[in-house]
Structure 1
């Protein structure tokens, strides 16, 4: 923590994530020092003060969005929603002349349309201002000063402030993209699930735009992913503390040296060029090497390594001889990667079958609306009996317990159709936007504030905020092709092409930071986080009080 002055009264916070990454996110929050960490579905709730909220946005690798809870209440009718929202003193949140927007997600037989809930919340806020001051705040979807989020599951409602703004998966280093890029938050979650923290070389033999390689470098060096972003929604709040946030932004004490190396390969020269450009933009060329190479030409690495990769599924990318590609992957791993571990994310069971190797663990993960599996393969030379006699471990005790769980995937399948509907909803102007109807009936969410789907998006442009100094934070990307950055350490501006993931999660166009100093030639300080990790709790939200 930065200073004692920052320790205020704690409040409830919600970190949203992808299905399958909840455990990893809970570990991140516990390590960060958050209190009352409780795992839900596609979210983790916790409590903390203003500094905790700033750090959660800036430091978490596996969070999509950080919400600050305003109120829990019952929503048995439209009038009740209106009345409960009016009970809040909105002058505490929305100053005169400020704009706001409302995002609603509804799973209820009472409310048939999310747009109707959005109108009710908006009307309650506007009417309160009219009654008290004779003036009303304006609605802005493209660039609101305050963004509100309401979630209703059956008759339980939770109203929150969105402290993040655009989705946290939009780090800011991606300048170019390839077809069907891997989401940055999912990539970071995959790496963290392997337990890798930079203790060996890291290889992605099908690297695409380089997302896994870049996220691996951030994790290995313990660099906060928020260092690339230009702004957060909480910077527009009435109580924003710029000095506190600048202290967090410029704190480098937790960063560390990385003594190994990261390699990314791809058969597509365009992908190689794209990944190289993105690595330069992140200022990580010292740690990452991108090369043009077919996986079929992969040879045994000289140093102990881990492979983490996301091959084509044949869904979003048309791949000729898809099954043959997976047979080749299995053959290369078996003959050229003995003594190491490989982790593969894929969608089709028939593809995994072609690998021809027995996984030690299968982890269910959703990539968008696709129910995927993240499988670990422990590779060894010779026979299994000899490997075990020499002390080799194919499955740890924890992995055995995981694999012994029955119906681990079934409980998530009920969300598949719902996810597809949610992903297509857009936040347009409340006077004109349209929502797709979501599935009705019994909600599969246990509690309104904790299990809502990842965000919708509006594609409208937003004005760029002027650069503002961030102290003496080291500048990433001094190397050729990186973000331009002045010596004062400003978070700069630069326009970039949007990538294919832009439609998946967010309500604003991406913002990119325009550069940070390269780590090339820099000395790094080793420092462990202070304080002991606090155990997190598992929680269900079936009967949580208002």
Structure 2
């Protein structure tokens, strides 16, 4: 137990339950849900595992000090008094970021600057040498969070946001964030036991995340680097052991995954990203206008997509969403259709009744993830068949 410590996984609004479940399934202890974050307890190996294996986490923070703070002098003194030698060499490099929710402290950039000053002053006083600031590849990345008078100082173990999986080299006009895409697949309840379709697949993000979920492939295997690889206690052997243990849990997938897009350039980008993710054997994408298609075969279909919003692309919203509803109703029986939109007015023109509506944010846009159930024949007939 001595080697265990508390960590905090940050996530998107509405994904807290998903992340809590993921952490419990990975084996975290003392899992506790917050707002846009979930705290948990584990050891160094589990920190590596969380960064590699969590689909809905944006960052994994390791808190190292907490204190009450009344003013800037307080902040400087507490940071200065910390034992920074255990985390950083005088010749090393650091970066600091801050988030602030306080009447006393107004500017997060100023807090980050004050924190950096305290650390480099401490090194200069103790060693006659100071670490450099390196915003791109620091040896340690420090995160300061001030909520009213409470200050938490953490090491950022992830570095770049965990949505940067490493497979996406080509994007279209408005690419969906990989963490958002994975969360949508999970919220939609898809378990890899049916065919899957993204009829407006863009650069293929939803398809790739869905395939990784179906095959239980760790989402961040292809990352070039995590921040913890530059820490003084970096253990490459332990990391490789964790990586191998996660890879042993991958599974086969025996259904179809299909992507359409009416833009040829989007399809070529999707193909490139799918290839980078080594998922070509599972996902087939083709140049098609979804509104001119029909469902192929009798199998149950799970559909999930991110249609144009209006904020992103110049289209006639009312007509677009009406055609979307008509296509689903007439062309896709036996389908659970999910999509996310921030155009809440446009939903009225789909002409179908939603069976589920979940509030989310896509970047800063308030959105809804909606579900439409397309029954075989009429809904009444479907119920009759179930009763028989």
Q: TM-score, normalised by structure 2?
A: 0.96
In structure 2, the CA distance between the partners of 1:196 and 1:8, relative to structure 1 (3 Å rule), is: farther
* Cross-structure match for 2:307: 311
* Cross-structure match for 1:87: 81
Please state if 1:114 is matched with 2:126.
Answer: no
More displaced stretch, 100-109 vs 376-385: 376-385
2:338 to 331, 340, 343: 343
- Counterpart CA distance in 1 for 2:45 and 2:73 is 36
More displaced stretch, 261-270 vs 84-93: 84-93
What SS does the corresponding residue of 1:24 show, helix, strand or coil?
Answer: helix
- Counterpart CA distance in 1 for 2:253 and 2:100 is 45
Task: Confirm or deny: 8 A CA contact 1:262 1:289 kept in the other structure.
Answer: yes
1:213 to 199, 207, 213: 207
Alignment of 1:469-480 (within 5 A): none
- Counterpart CA distance in 2 for 1:177 and 1:130 is 45
* Cross-structure match for 1:61: 55
Alignment of 1:20-419 (within 5 A): 20-251=14-245, 252-302=247-297, 303-319=299-315, 321-391=316-386
Which of the pair has the greater relative contact order for Cα pairs under 8 Å at 6+ separation? Answer: 1
CA deviation after TM superposition for structure 1 residue 206, in Å = 0.4
- Counterpart CA distance in 2 for 1:134 and 1:269 is 60
CA deviation after TM superposition for structure 1 residue 189, in Å = 0.3
More displaced stretch, 194-203 vs 245-254: 245-254
Alignment of 1:399-478 (within 5 A): none
- Counterpart CA distance in 1 for 2:52 and 2:376 is 43
CA deviation after TM superposition for structure 1 residue 228, in Å = 0.8
CA deviation after TM superposition for structure 1 residue 164, in Å = 0.4
- Counterpart CA distance in 2 for 1:233 and 1:372 is 32
CA deviation after TM superposition for structure 1 residue 127, in Å = 2.0
What is the root-mean-square deviation in Å for CA atoms of aligned residues? 1.4
Q: Deviations for 1:180-205, whole angstroms, at most 9, x for unmatched residues?
A: 10011000000011121210110000
CA deviation after TM superposition for structure 1 residue 390, in Å = 3.6
- Counterpart CA distance in 2 for 1:327 and 1:8 is 60
Q: TM-score, normalised by structure 1?
A: 0.69
Task: Confirm or deny: 8 A CA contact 1:359 1:375 kept in the other structure.
Answer: yes
- Counterpart CA distance in 1 for 2:61 and 2:171 is 29
Q: Which has the higher strand share?
A: 2
Task: Confirm or deny: 8 A CA contact 2:79 2:119 kept in the other structure.
Answer: yes
What SS does the corresponding residue of 1:80 show, helix, strand or coil?
Answer: helix
Task: Confirm or deny: 8 A CA contact 2:197 2:303 kept in the other structure.
Answer: yes
- Counterpart CA distance in 2 for 1:384 and 1:308 is 21
Structure 2 gap ranges (5+): none
What SS does the corresponding residue of 1:227 show, helix, strand or coil?
Answer: coil
What SS does the corresponding residue of 1:349 show, helix, strand or coil?
Answer: coil
Aligned residues: 385
Task: Confirm or deny: 8 A CA contact 2:344 2:367 kept in the other structure.
Answer: no
What SS does the corresponding residue of 1:226 show, helix, strand or coil?
Answer: coil
Please state if 1:15 is matched with 2:9.
Answer: yes
- Counterpart CA distance in 2 for 1:315 and 1:239 is 46
Task: Confirm or deny: 8 A CA contact 1:106 1:153 kept in the other structure.
Answer: yes
- Counterpart CA distance in 1 for 2:131 and 2:168 is 35
Task: Confirm or deny: 8 A CA contact 1:8 1:50 kept in the other structure.
Answer: no
What SS does the corresponding residue of 2:221 show, helix, strand or coil?
Answer: helix
Task: Confirm or deny: 8 A CA contact 2:58 2:161 kept in the other structure.
Answer: yes
- Counterpart CA distance in 2 for 1:87 and 1:385 is 71
- Counterpart CA distance in 2 for 1:247 and 1:8 is 21
Q: Which has the higher helix share?
A: 2
CA deviation after TM superposition for structure 1 residue 8, in Å = 5.4
